Structures are given as structure tokens and as C-alpha cells.
């Protein structure tokens, strides 16, 4: 099977992790998988390093007709069995790809309701398959008018061989690199510094958790925030206002989140909205308990009370309580981390995600083949 993945984003987030991982899995399975992406973007760089064939496609916005025509010409020259659109800007190019591949597939990753005018037309009529990464995303699509029987749930996956509980020496080295002492409790999060990720709520919670009575006996509580984005300066100012400079560190963007995860005791994801939360799944695979907001697909990643704790979004007091309770209970952290690792292996591997995606491809191709035969027989 020949597959083209379309992802024009220049930044490298959780969605791009999935695109890269899926493409590599398809290649390992013997398929011809390529990416149509922005040559200035991080996905292009990392994919090229991994030996993936990349073709240049810059898409400025969802109404970039010139990009749509370039895509159409590209597909005319290079026949594919599947064209898989991975982001909102990519989805908008689907009309230009009509009739230029065996089947068109889209993946929806965000849990906000898409445009009520465009979504039914796109997802019900213009493409052959719709993948939602969580039940929360599927519900958002249905609220926009997409037929539920058009949607297949394909949760995101992680490389559980790479994201695994670290050996003692590896963990000690990772903690030393962050200046952590043996008794310190390290809380961390990764993600773009944008409002929907809830970093401001986390800072408020850290201010409260650091003053909890039980904290004095448990060692220093330190929070590491990794990522880049427009709110960096605002978060830095808020850290100063809350007198958290000794407790909270803005790490900036990370090429690889694994060294940070290896050093942590607790992973936190205080999002206000979230499609699924690949970062939370990576943390669970690494054996960390996860404290996360009960939004979007995060309840499908965090089994409340077993692999971590779900909290109400935008409630710093509730988040602070969850953080300090876990910070003083090493046995509970270990139990939740072990359960999270098992959950990731059973339900969240990159191999399982790729297998489900392939099944969707074959289903779409089979339906289209039957439809063609039916029309030919009329």
C-alpha cells in the first residue's frame, strides 16, 4: 500500500509525534509511506533524519487555494492508495484531493467542536474515513453534525520500548542534571505554552502545595515546565509574583522529553481542553503517576485512582491537593506508576495505533472498491 500523510505544521507537538510514529510503523510493515509537509518545519527535519521520504507542501491557512492546487497536482503525479490528512489545515485541503487517491482519511485530534457549516460537508461527504483520537473528540464531531457511524476511535500511541521506567543509574543521572537532591519531589509537564494547557493554574497550585503542612517533612517540591509558546514571558512574570522562583523552572522546548520524564516523580497535565494528551501517555509508559484535568480524552489516558488522579479543570486548590498528597506518598506513586505502565502497554502502544489505522485504510479501500463494482454493474 502506498500512503501519503499530510501535516503542514512547522512546530512539533503531540500530533506530529503520532504522524512520525505512524509513518515509521507503516514502513516497518512493508508499506510505502511518505509525508507531505512544510520543509521549514520540525516534522520535515525529524522525518528526513529517520529516512522518510518527504515532499514539500506549505499550507498557509485553511483557505489556501494555491496550496490546494499544488496538492492536487502532486497527487496527480504520484498515485497513492491512501491520503491521510492529520491537522485542521490539512483537512481543509481534502476537497482538492478528491478523486486523486484510492481513499481519503482524516484524523481529528482536538476536542473542541469544529465549524458547523464545514464539518458535516467535509467529514460526511468528502472523505472516506474519519479517525478520532478519543471519545471526547468523537463527541465534539457529532455535536458539529458528523454522523457517528462515520467515526472510528483510534487512540494515540507511544513507543513503549523507548518510553519505559528508567534504570536506577539513568534516573539518578537525569535528576542530577536538574539539580535535584535525593529527597526532592519533582513534578513536571511538557507542552506548548498556550492558554489551553493550563500552566497558570499549575503555578497557582504550586504556590498552594508548597505551603501545605505535610510538605515540610517530604523534601523540596520542585516543578519543571518544558515547552515554548506565546505565554512564556507571562508565566515567568507570574512565577515571580507568586514567589516561586526557587520552586518552578521554565525549561524551554525539549528535543526529547525522555530525560525529563526519567527525573520526575509526578507528571501533571492541567489542560483546559485536550484531544487525548500524548504527553500524559508517554509519562504513564515511563512509570509515572499522572495528575490531569478531566477534560477531552484525558480520562481515557488516566484511570482515576489507579494510574493517577483526575481533577476539575481551572481549580488550583483541587490540583494542589492532588499534587501534595502524591508528593508525600511514595508507595502510592509507585503503585500508580506501575498501573500506568501496564495501561500504556495494553492500550496505548504505537503498534496498536498503527494496526487500527491500517484497518481503517483497508476498510475505506474495500468500501470504495465495492462501490466502483456496483456502479460498473449498473
Half-sphere exposure of 79 (CA within 13 A, CB side): 3
* Contact indicator for 166, 262 with CB cutoff of 8 Å: yes
The residues facing 129 across adjacent strands are 105
List, in order of start, the domains of the chain with CATH numbers: 2-157+350-377 (3.40.50.2000), 168-347 (3.40.50.2000)
Q: Name the residue among 319, 334, 218 with its Cα closest to residue 272.
A: 319
Helix (H) or strand (E) holding 335: helix 330-347
Q: Give the chain's length.
A: 378
In terms of DSSP bridges, do strands 32-37 and 53-56 run parallel, antiparallel, or are they unpaired?
parallel
Under DSSP, is residue 285 helix (H, G, I), strand (E, B) or coil?
A: helix
Angular region, 316: left φ>0, alpha ψ -120 to 50, beta rest: alpha
- pLDDT values of the chain reduced to their tens digit, one per residue, 378 residues: 999 999 999 989 889 999 999 999 999 999 999 999 999 999 999 999 999 999 999 999 989 999 999 999 999 999 999 999 999 999 999 999 999 999 999 999 988 888 888 899 999 999 999 999 999 899 999 999 999 999 999 999 999 999 999 999 999 999 999 999 999 999 999 999 999 999 999 999 999 987 765 544 456 899 999 999 999 999 999 999 999 999 999 999 998 999 999 999 999 999 998 888 889 999 999 999 999 999 988 998 999 999 999 999 999 999 999 999 999 999 999 999 999 999 999 988 999 999 999 999 999 999 887 766 665 565
* Contact indicator for 108, 132 with CB cutoff of 8 Å: yes
Q: Name the residue among 155, 137, 36, 47 with its Cα closest to residue 94.
A: 36
Amino acid at each position: 500500500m502506498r500512503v501519503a500523510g499530510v501535516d503542514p505544521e512547522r512546530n512539533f507537538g503531540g500530533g506530529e509525534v503520532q504522524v512520525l510514529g505512524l509513518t515509521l510503523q507503516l514502513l516497518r510493515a512493508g508499506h510505502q509511506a511518505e509525508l507531505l509537509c512544510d520543509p521549514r518545519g520540525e516534522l520535515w527535519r525529524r522525518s528526513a533524519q529517520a529516512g522518510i521520504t518527504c515532499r514539500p507542501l506549505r499550507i498557509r491557512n485553511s483557505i489556501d487555494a494555491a496550496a490546494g492546487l499544488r496538492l492536487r497536482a502532486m497527487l496527480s503525479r504520484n498515485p497513492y492508495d491512501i491520503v491521510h490528512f492529520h491537522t485542521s489545515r490539512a483537512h481543509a485541503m481534502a476537497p482538492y484531493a478528491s478523486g486523486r487517491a484510492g481513499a481519503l482519511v482524516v484524523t481529528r485530534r482536538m476536542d473542541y467542536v469544529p465549524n458547523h457549516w464545514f464539518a458535516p460537508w467535509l467529514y460526511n461527504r468528502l472523505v472516506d474515513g474519519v479517525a478520532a483520537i478519543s471519545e471526547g473528540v468523537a463527541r465534539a464531531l457529532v455535536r458539529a453534525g458528523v454522523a457517528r457511524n462515520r467515526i472510528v476511535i483510534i487512540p494515540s500511541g507511544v513507543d513503549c520500548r523507548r518510553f519505559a521506567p528508567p534504570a536506577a543509574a539513568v534516573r539518578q543521572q537525569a535528576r542530577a542534571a536538574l539539580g535535584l537532591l535525593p529527597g526532592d519531589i519533582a513534578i513536571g509537564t511538557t507542552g506548548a505554552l498556550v492558554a489551553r494547557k493550563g500552566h497558570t493554574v499549575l503555578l497557582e497550585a504550586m504556590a498552594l502545595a508548597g505551603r501545605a503542612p505535610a510538605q515540610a517533612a517530604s523534601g523540596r517540591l520542585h516543578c519543571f515546565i518544558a515547552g515554548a509558546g506565546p505565554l512564556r514571558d507571562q508565566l515567568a512574570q507570574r512565577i515571580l509574583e507568586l514567589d516561586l522562583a526557587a520552586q518552578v523552572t521554565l525549561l524551554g522546548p525539549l528535543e526529547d522529553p525522555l530525560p525529563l520524564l526519567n527525573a520526575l516523580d509526578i507528571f501533571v497535565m492541567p489542560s483546559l481542553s485536550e484531544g487525548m494528551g500524548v504527553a500524559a501517555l508517554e509519562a504513564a509508559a515511563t512509570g509515572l503517576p499522572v495528575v490531569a484535568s478531566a477534560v477531552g480524552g484525558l480520562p481515557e489516558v488516566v484511570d482515576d485512582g489507579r494510574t493517577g488522579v483526575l481533577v476539575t479543570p481551572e481549580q488550583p486548590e483541587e490540583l494542589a491537593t492532588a499534587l501534595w498528597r502524591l508528593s508525600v506518598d511514595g508507595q502510592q506513586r509507585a503503585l500508580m506508576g506501575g498501573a500506568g505502565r501496564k495501561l500504556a502497554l495494553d492500550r496505548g502502544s504505537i503498534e496498536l495505533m498503527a494496526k487500527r489505522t491500517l484497518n481503517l485504510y483497508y476498510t475505506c479501500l474495500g468500501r470504495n472498491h465495492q462501490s466502483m463494482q456496483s456502479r460498473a454493474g449498473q
